[in-house]
Chains A and B, each alone.
Chain A
């Protein structure tokens, strides 16, 4: 039974921001190691990342998103505004 693992962005021990130390190719077993920063978008929660994906798919139409998600326009706009402010916070700490 395989379960989808969630990409961790915050240290479970101290709450600090995690960075990527190594990457691995499942095809040829190549490993790349170094110090890689995590893009602010990857630091969003899975639901927020899904929202951003849906937003792009809808060409940025909040009305369309509201209709697709069965939510009201201001609710969708509020989710987007919260994500924007989260991204601004991440960027200011870079």
Chain B
């Protein structure tokens, strides 16, 4: 149970970084195959992009928050922290993004989503029953999102040996800053 919420007690550093980057590449491949792109920190949009652009976006939305958390760690931690640990643990946490993306590519979910978007744009009213696949996916992605934040916080806490309200405040500040910047650009 501990490992479910905090796998970084057991894995960090280079091993986590290699595995994590493989998750990022796998996510990028999935997004690319579905003509999708991670266009902000926690948002996926439809776009015709090359695989390298999709991978680049995935990498940026992992590296930038990780570096900001590392800077917070340098300011808050009394321990000698290593950048490889924060990069490794946050990269490993990207498996949650993969878990979020994978069901999205199921034809039943994808078609339902496209139908809903088209209906919204045309002003048509859809039967609630026809939205069931999208509703199930929404619940799944909400669970993944909560887990994503828990894993990222634990990645920060373990890698930088920080805890308490200062760590929570720094983590929230980084998440809010990255989300706002992601939405603006």
Among B4-12, B115-123, B138-146, the stretch that binds chain A is B4-12
In the complex with contacts A72-B13, A73-B12, A78-B158 CB distance below 8 A? yes
Q: How would residues 72 to 87 of chain B score, 1 for a CB under 8 Å from any chain A CB and 0 otherwise?
A: 0000001111100100
Q: Report Cα–Cα, A85/B10, bound state, in Å.
A: 23
Query: Does A37 have its Cβ within 8 Å of any Cβ on chain B?
Result: no
Q: Is the CB of A74 within 8 A of B85?
A: yes
A74 vs B82: C-alpha distance when bound (angstroms): 8
Return the chain A residue nearest B160 by Cβ: A74
B12 in complex: contacting residue of A75, A81, A85, CB < 8 Å: A75
Contact flags (1/0) for A5-40 with B, using CB distance below 8 Å? 000000000000000000000000000000000000
Q: Please provide the chain A residues from 60 to 94 with a CB less than 8 Å away from any CB of chain B in the complex.
A: 70-75, 77-78, 81, 85
- What is the CB-to-nearest-CB distance from A75 to chain B, in angstroms, rounded to a whole number? 5
Interface size on A, residues (CB 8 A): 10
B159 at the binding interface (Cβ < 8 Å)? yes
Chain B residue at minimal CB-CB distance from A80 = B79
Q: Contact between B12 and A72 (Cβ–Cβ < 8 Å)?
A: yes
**A78 to B161, Cβ gap below 8 A?**
yes
Taking a contact as CB atoms under 8 Å apart, the answer to whether A74 and B78 are in contact is no
Q: Which of chain B's residues has its CB closest to A82's CB?
A: B161
Query: B10 contacts A81, CB within 8 Å?
Result: no
Chain B residues contacting A81 (CB-CB under 8 Å) are 78-79, 161
Q: How long is the Cα–Cα vector from A77 to B158 in the complex, in angstroms?
A: 9
Q: Per-residue CB proximity of B137-163 to A under 8 Å, as 1/0?
A: 000000000000000000000110100
Q: Is the CB of B78 within 8 A of A72?
A: no
| B98 smallest CB distance to A (angstroms) | 21
Query: In the complex the two chains form, is B85's CB within 8 Å of A73's CB?
Result: yes
Q: How far is the CA of A85 from the CA of B13 in the complex (A)?
A: 24
State the Cβ distance, B172 to closest chain A Cβ, in Å.
Answer: 21
Chain B residues proximal to chain A, CB less than 8 Å: 8-13, 16, 78-82, 85, 89, 158-159, 161
Q: Contacts A72-B9, A74-B8 given; 14 further ones with Cβ under 8 A?
A: A70-B10, A72-B158, A74-B13, A74-B82, A74-B158, A74-B159, A75-B8, A75-B10, A75-B12, A77-B79, A78-B161, A81-B78, A81-B161, A85-B78
A residues near B (Cβ < 8 Å) are: 70-75, 77-78, 81, 85
